[in-house]
A and B are shown apart, each in its own frame.
Chain A
């Protein structure tokens, strides 16, 4: 009885998901297998194998996503750790600052980097004024620019779950380790870090998957020099338009993403078992 009532509460959402989300995805995936008038075909996948340039763009996307995720970890982990040590007011301010980017349009944030990092931007002028460099450093229109922009946009996705996990760590565990004579470094690596690892892994995975679909930041900060899969899909869908080819690439992207997620779940279960 309770079971069926629960289901009826969920049913509207389920219908919405199936109609508005799942059905179009199935249709999109199916596009790659059907040729008008001829029925089932694999030629759009064969095309991918014959001209592996699209797959190489996918590989490049993975590489950039990995770099951006690592950058996020390097910046985000110490930041979350530092926030844990703050007083309650300090924490409020720090969280507000981390979440702030969510309230600003991604376009505005991305264009802001042009003002900050451009040849005539604040950073380059400061560097030249201080005599550290003679000519402007190219921060933009390369992989560095894209990585900076993506790290900036995605940082909250890593910091917030990480910070939440760190807050839950019982201080007495750390004190116990200290009372048993462990030096701070050992306490960190043997007690603190393993406790944050699940949140770190989940946050990194989230960031990585979001990176795979990034469109606007590479388009603006990459200067057309950093090919990413979503920009390629835009060309295939809007300009050429080869929806079938785009569908085949999207399918592969989806499978790769699911595989990564499955691998993570396996690791996670092993770790918690």
Chain B
């Protein structure tokens, strides 16, 4: 008798907690770890605020995001965080390590999106570019061959301290066109970097460094993120040969069904072009809607990674190649850094 009461109670309890789960119950608040700064504010203004206004669901943001943090979250069995921002190459690594879940695209039911943004394991929500920029007054390079030519274009350089941001530009400097960059000729890239390294004053780790160093006149030329330099009269810039890349929001492995349901609602908001236009007011990076250009201010189209004139002259990040070769290249990178 006692036993039966217990079993009955247990069934009732699990039923109570499970049934609404099937009847698409969703959490009123979920947590997200994103990369922070203006990018985080653009998520707030563009997507979280509209979501809250429509559904009452709130998303609490934290930053910064790194693959190591995600691994620690999942391995410690912590399931309080549902959404996690990752770079395009990192999504593949996280998938391999079993740290993220497949997205339920049918449940998200998004507005039309560029195909590369509709990843099995992530929502590509933000295009960003890595481009050349210079301090106003410096001689203006038109391509990376000129950018790497420190005789014709004298001045100190500031380059990214990340091989996947640096090597493709070095290969371009050696004359490889942007549609033939991959598979990457790593040796050629390092040969080119060895030629320029004495003129590289700083290898940057944080995106805020290159614009500040150019303003301080510590360096005259940088390879940096477009959102950090566009619209600032102190800098000149050129998208030619730049790298277009996509940031993804992923669902952390082991998230609760009701949290995932809430996350899907946010993903839907992120697919709407009108929301992406709001986000682009905060940071000059763009969302994955093919119809977004029409909603953006005409005089600012030149600033955005995905506007026609910029998308055509850039190459797109080859995340698969980096997922396969990243670690080996990284060792060579460390060896190169020791030779500075």
- Residues B216 and A119 in contact, CB atoms below 8 Å apart: yes
Check if B178 is an interface residue, CB within 8 A of chain A: no
Residues of A within 8 A of B327 (CB): 240, 242
Check if B330 is an interface residue, CB within 8 A of chain A: yes
Check if A202 is an interface residue, CB within 8 A of chain B: no
- Residues A224 and B161 in contact, CB atoms below 8 Å apart: yes
- Residues A237 and B203 in contact, CB atoms below 8 Å apart: no
Residues of A within 8 A of B218 (CB): 118-119, 140-141
Q: Which residue of B lies closest to A224 (CB)?
A: B203
- Residues A238 and B68 in contact, CB atoms below 8 Å apart: yes
- Residues A223 and B334 in contact, CB atoms below 8 Å apart: no
Check if A273 is an interface residue, CB within 8 A of chain B: no
Write the residues of chain B forming the contact surface with A, with a CB cutoff of 8 angstroms.
66-69, 71, 161, 200-205, 216-218, 326-327, 330-331, 334-335, 337-338, 340
Residues of A within 8 A of B205 (CB): 219, 224
Residues of A within 8 A of B69 (CB): 238
Residues of A within 8 A of B337 (CB): 224-225, 227
Check if A57 is an interface residue, CB within 8 A of chain B: yes
Q: Which 4 A-B pairs have the closest CB atoms?
A: A224-B203, A223-B202, A238-B68, A241-B68
Write the residues of chain A forming the contact surface with B, with a CB cutoff of 8 angstroms.
51, 53-54, 56-57, 60, 114, 118-120, 138, 140-141, 219, 223-225, 227, 232, 235, 237-243
Residues of A within 8 A of B338 (CB): 53, 56-57, 60, 227
| Distance from B44 Cβ to chain A, minimum over Cβ atoms (Å) | 24
Q: Which residue of A lies closest to B340 (CB)?
A: A225
Q: Which of A118, A120, A141, A240 is in CB contact (< 8 Å) with B67? A: A240
Residues of B within 8 A of A141 (CB): 201-202, 218
| Distance from B170 Cβ to chain A, minimum over Cβ atoms (Å) | 16
Question: What CA separation (Å) do A90 and B167 show in the bound complex?
Answer: 57
Question: What CA separation (Å) do A235 and B340 show in the bound complex?
Answer: 18
Question: What CA separation (Å) do A109 and B218 show in the bound complex?
Answer: 19
A118-B218, A119-B218 given; A224·B68 CB < 8 A: no
- Residues B334 and A54 in contact, CB atoms below 8 Å apart: yes
| Distance from A171 Cβ to chain B, minimum over Cβ atoms (Å) | 50
A224-B203, A225-B203, A239-B66 given; A53·B71 CB < 8 A: no
Could you list 17 A-B pairs, sorted by A, with CB under 8 Å?
A53-B334, A54-B334, A56-B335, A57-B334, A57-B338, A118-B218, A119-B216, A120-B216, A120-B217, A141-B201, A219-B205, A224-B161, A224-B202, A224-B203, A239-B67, A241-B68, A242-B327
Question: What CA separation (Å) do A241 and B69 show in the bound complex?
Answer: 9
Residues of B within 8 A of A54 (CB): 334
- Residues B331 and A53 in contact, CB atoms below 8 Å apart: yes
| Distance from A45 Cβ to chain B, minimum over Cβ atoms (Å) | 15
Residues of A within 8 A of B217 (CB): 119-120
Q: Which residue of B lies closest to A232 (CB)?
A: B334
Q: Which residue of A lies closest to B327 (CB)?
A: A240
| Distance from B97 Cβ to chain A, minimum over Cβ atoms (Å) | 8
Residues of B within 8 A of A241 (CB): 66-68, 71
A239-B68, A241-B68 given; A118·B161 CB < 8 A: no
